Structures are given as C-alpha cells and as structure tokens.
Structure 1
Amino acid sequence: MKYVLYFVLLLLHCASVHTFSIFTDDSDQNTTELDMKNIDTKNADVVRQLLNQETLIRMALVRNVHILMKDMVDLKKKHESMESLQQSTEIKVTALQQEVRDLKRENQKLDLENRKFAETFNLVKDNFTQISDQFKDFAKELEKEREAFETNTSIVLSDLKIEVRYLSVTLLDLNKHTLEREKIIPDMMDEKCNVLSAMFNTSLETLNNDLTAISTKLSKSVSNLENSQNAIIVSVFGDINKTLDELQTELKETHNSQLKLSASVSSLEVFRMNVSNNHCDFGKKVAFTAGVTSSSTSWNSGTLVFNKVINNVGGGYNPNTGIFTAPLNGDYVFYVSIQSAGADFYDIYVDIVFNGSSKVRAMAYNYNSNDLHETGTNMVTLRLQQGDTVWVKHHSGTGYYTHSDAPITTFSGFLT
C-alpha cells in the first residue's frame, strides 16, 4: 500500500511538470504563445479555441493534482495514525493474550479447587448423612430414656407421697410427745431441785460433823482443815455441775422448750450462787494465789492470765481469764509481783485493775545493759461488793520472766 501511494505521487508530479500536448508537437512547452507565421488566418479562431480549451484542461489538471496531493497527505497522516493505532492494538492484543493465558491458568486452578470443593462437598454430604442417621438413633434412644425417666419419676413421686404421709404422722407424734415433755419439765425441775437440796443438806451435815470432830485440834491443823473444806466444796460443786449438765442435756432434747430451759438453767445458776454464798458465809474465808508458768518476750497488751492456781479458797479466782470475782462483800488485799524479761527488754509496767479502773502500778525496770531480771511489786487494799472484779493488765513495756515449777510472776488476794 505504501509503495502504491508513492508511485501515484510520482506520476502526479510528472504530470504537473511535464505536460505533453498534441498541439505543441509533443514538446515541453509551458507557454500559450502561438507561432502566427505558420498558422493560417482561417484556422486562427479554431486554434485559439483549442488553446483556450487546453488552458482550461491544464488548469483543471493542476487543480486536480493539488487536490490529489492534499488527499495523499491526508492519506499519509491517516496511514501513520493507522500504524500507531495498529501498534497500540498489537500491544493491547499482546496484553489481552497475556490476560487470556492468566485466565486460563486461573481457570485451571479454579477447576482444581472446584474438584476439591466437589470432593469436600461429597465428604460433608456423607458426614451429614451419617450425622443425620446418628441423630435419628439418638432421638430414638432419648425418647426411650425419657419414657423410662417418666416411669421412674412416677414411681419416685409415689414413694415420696407415701413418705410424706409417714412424715406427717411422725410430726404429729413428735408434737404430741413435745407437749407431754413440756408438761413434765416443771415436775422434773422440782424433783431435781429437791434432790439437789437434799444432797447439799447432806454435804453440809457431813461438813458440820467433820468440823465438830476436829474443833479440838483446830490450832494444830488449820491447814488440814482448809484442805478438807476445799475438797468438800469441790465435791459439792462437782455434784451440782454434773447434775446441772445432765439436766441441760435432757432439756435440750425437747424441740420447742428452749425458753423454759433457759429460765430453768438461770434459776439453777442463781441457786448454785446462793449455795456458794451460803457456804462462804459459813466459812467467812476468801483467799487465792496464782502464778504464770511460762516466760514471754512478746507480751505487750491485755490481761495477764496467771494460769497456775496455788490456792483458791472461796473459788473467786478464774485461772482461764485471770480475773478475780468477789464472792462476798468486804475489804480485800491484792498483791502483784512481776519480773522483767532480761537485758533486751528494759522494763515492764502492770496495773491492778478494779472494775476496769487502774488502782496501783508495779514497775520492773532494767537500768543496766547486762542480762539481769528486775522485780516490780505493789499492793492495794480495796473494798469490794459481791460480783466486783479485780485483775492485772498491761500498761507498757514488753515481756516477763517466771518459772514453771515455782512461779516468780504471781498475783494474790484475800479477804481481811
């Protein structure tokens, strides 16, 4: 196509430059001048017309040549644009071919994945079928178990109804028995009190006989008399406590008699206190001495409990709490002795306390740096009413020292 265009252009150029005419004897002449010598006069008009026609034809040819050249230029531009378009088209075709190849590869991958998905789907379908079958079997078993459970539940409910009837009967019997016990309790209390009074009177008679028998030997055996008296008191209190515990055990077995039991126990406690007071009035003696059996390097607060009782006439001192409770009205003398823990613990201060109020203070102060034990003592006389309390409490300092067999730190008191 390119060579054809070049050939046409060449022909047109030749036609525009070298125009041959039959009127010029095929000579290369671009002029319209005539050789008037060789032309006859009668043919002048014809020749003139022919020349005019030739001129018009040349002008038309020139105009056509220019139009053709313009068309050739446009055609050339279009050809160049077509070539660029062809190149871009080839590039796009190449890209499209590459995309087609990529799509083919992706299609192959998708085919593989589709096959795998089909296999997985078939496997899941099989598993689902198996699960469906198993679910049906499970539903059947569950239905059987539900029916068995309903049957067992009916049986259990029947048994429960029977047991509830028996329980109702038992509760009615228990209520009846409780009412009978509530009627019997006052009689039992009276009987126990009578027995207790008889035992106490017998003990008092025995004590009076013993005191009469040894009255002539009183000056020589005062200590033996006190020991015998203490043994008898312990025996009497033991019998009273034992009887009280048995009565409490019997009364606690009843279901709805707690208020009456509390009232009965309170009356027995009052009775026991009256017995104790009557005996103390008989003896008119109250005295105690107690000590601490183990040393301490950390005691720094609270009540000091003297756990080892050496003597406790009248039973006023409690070794479990460290508190003395006055069993009688009167004037009492109290004495405390405490020893410091050693060189690393410089001092210890304790107070004798009367009904929560500190009265006197004992101080054991170690003023040396060597390993010494200092002793602090103090004594006080107090007028007590029955039920007043006295004890020893910590004031300041840390620790104390004592012995287990013969206590060094002690607390004493007696009725004057």
Structure 2
Amino acid sequence: MRLRASESALDQLKRKSSVLASRLCLVENLRKRSSVADTEVQVHQNSSQGHTSALISERDGQRQETKSRVETDSSNIHQNMSAFHARLLHLEGKMMTGEQHLHNIRVKSGQLSNMEAQLGNACNNTAALEGNVKMAEAHVEKLKVLSSALEVRLNVSERLLEELKTECTALDRRLNVSDKFQEQLKTESRAQTTRVSNVESRLTNSIHNTAAVEVRLNISEKILEELKTECTAWTTHLSNVEFQLTHNIDNTEVLLRRLNMNGQKINNLKETTKDLMSRLHVLEQHGTQTSGETKVAFAAALTDSGSVGPFDQETTLIFSKVFTNIGRAYDETSGVFTAPVDAIYVFSFTAADFLKGYMGVTLYRNQQPIVSSLDLNDHGGYASATNGALIPLEAGDRVRLSLPASYRLYDDTRSFSVFSGFLLFQVEADQ
C-alpha cells in the first residue's frame, strides 16, 4: 500500500512539474515575441528614416539641377517654362507623397508606442510569473526530496523483487531435472508463495509460469520418448544401410574385376582387328597383283550418337562410319552387304554396351540367321561380345547384322561396335 501511495505521489509530482514547465515555456515565448516586436519597430523606423532622407536628397538634387539649368540656359527660359512647371508639379506630387508617408510613419510610431506600453505590462506580468516560478521551483525542490526518498524505498522493493525473480528462475531450472525434483520444487514454490504474497502480487504470475513449465516439461518428455522411438528406428535403418553399403562395395569390387576383364577382352579384340586389318592389307596387295580376281573388303563402325535401341521389333543395324569399302559391296545407307561374285567370305563383328540389360546381334544371310552373339549386362559398365563366320555366298546374296527386339547397343567416337568382312577366295559356280 505504501509503495502504491508513493507511486501516485510521484505521478502527481510529475504532472505538477510538467505544468510548471509549460508555464515557463509560455513566459519564454512572450519574451521572444516582445524582442521580435522591438526589432521590427526598429527596422521599420530605420526604413522610414532612410526613405525620408532619400526623398529630401532627391528634392535637393532636383532644385540644384533646376538652378544650374536656369543659370546656364537663361536664353531658353521662356521656351522651357512649361516643362519646368510640369517637373515642379511632379516634384510637388512626390513631396506630397513623402509627407503622406511621413504621416503614416508617425501613425505607426504611435502604434509602436502603444505596443511598448503593452510590452511594459507584459514585462510586469513576466516579473510576477517569475516570482510564481521561483515559488514553484522551491516547491519542486521539496517534491524532489520526497521523490528521492520514494526512489530509495522503490529501489529496496525492486531489489526484493529481483531476489524473488532469481529464486523463481532457480525453481524453473530445478523443474527440468526429474519428476522427483518437480514435487520438491512445487513444495518450495508454495512456501515461497506464502512468504512473498505480502510483498507483491507478481509472484502469482510466477506460479502460473511454473504450471506452464510443468506442462512444457510433460510435453518435452513425450517428445523425448517419440524421439527415442525415432532414433531406434533410424538406428535400425542405418544398420540396414550399412549392410547394403557393404554389399554394394562387394558388388563394386566384382564389377571392377569384370570391367578389368572386359578391358582385356577389348585389348584382345583390338589386337585381333589389327591382325585382320593386316591380313586384309596383304590380301589387297595380293589382289592388286592378281589381275583377274575381284577385290572385296569393308569395315565400318555403328555410330557416334551413343545408344541404339531397344526397339519393339528386330531391326537391321546400319553401320554408318565406314573405314574401308573396297569393291563398294557394303551399302552404308542400308547396312547391307551384297556379294558381287560367288566366293567364300569372312565376316566378323563386335557388339558393345555399358548399361544394364540385354545386348547382342545376329548375322543374317538373306533371311537366314547364321550366327548370333547375345549377352546380359547385369552389372552395368562396358561389356562387349565378338563373333565371326566363314560363309559361302552366291552373287547377289545379302548379309546384314540385326538387333533383336528389346536389345540395345552402344557406340561413340571410340568405335566400340564394329562390322567387317572381306572376300577370301572365289569359287566356280559348279563348286
């Protein structure tokens, strides 16, 4: 109750001090206005005096000018009398205007004298107000003494409140330990409530805060249980992922071994291709030496554009990158080799892919399948299959490579998938 009374008294002191401050501001404004009016009067007087002196000087100058003209131009007096009379009339009009302006200035000076009288009264009122202000300041000093005493008492009460707040925060921290400590904290909070209830009503809010903390603690315990459950599930999932990762690492090692084996196969194929090319070169040289024999040999790669297939039905492959086509028996637009003469021909091919799935090709003579090379790339990565055949052909027989339905091949600038053939020797028609 004493604290509230002190707070109300302090508010009253603040209001009184604000009223006194406003009154002081009014007095200062009156002083400023009186000083501004004085300056305006002085300025106006100075301007009127300056204007009068200017008129007088102008009149004197004009009189002197007329005298000089009368003395110098005596022979032309009669001729210029009318102009001189008009100028005198003009000067008299100016003098009348100046006198009227002087009359106005005298009227304004009378008004200024009235304003000075009013300012004297205002100064008297200001002196009275200053006396009142001094009395108010003395009263304010007394009130300041009282307010300082009240501030001391308020500081004591605020210290008590800070101590109570620190005790409440300690209670909040101890609530987070366990359920057992929660009961103890509740007992202590009740005891603190009974001790502090006579000091201030703010501790009731701390009790409500304690209840809110209990609710939050229960919610956090439930969330903790849910997180434990999720953590257990994630632990199980992590163990499964680790097992799968270990399995994938083993599979990767197997794939690397198979990739190394495929690399060796590719190297072997390259050596075989070099051997075949050398043999083809020898045969070409032999063919150039033998005048009556037909020379036929070709070699081509599939494409530079990547994957070919899979298709819904079996499709003839067009090996469009032609390396050699002696005799022009291979058509790079249709992918078909046409035998020019009856002879024994040698054909070889390599099919490659690098994605999981079925890969391979079938060699056809006309509509008859001769030999196939099929494989399942179940590990991903580069894989290849190679085959060849020695086939007797009659003139006009057609040989091609066909991609089975749902199979796929791959080729790029490195020429993984190739098709080649050459004429080994001619045979007679009856053979």
Q: TM-score, normalised by structure 2?
A: 0.30
Greater share of residues in helix: 2
Q: TM-score, normalised by structure 1?
A: 0.31
Larger radius of gyration: 1
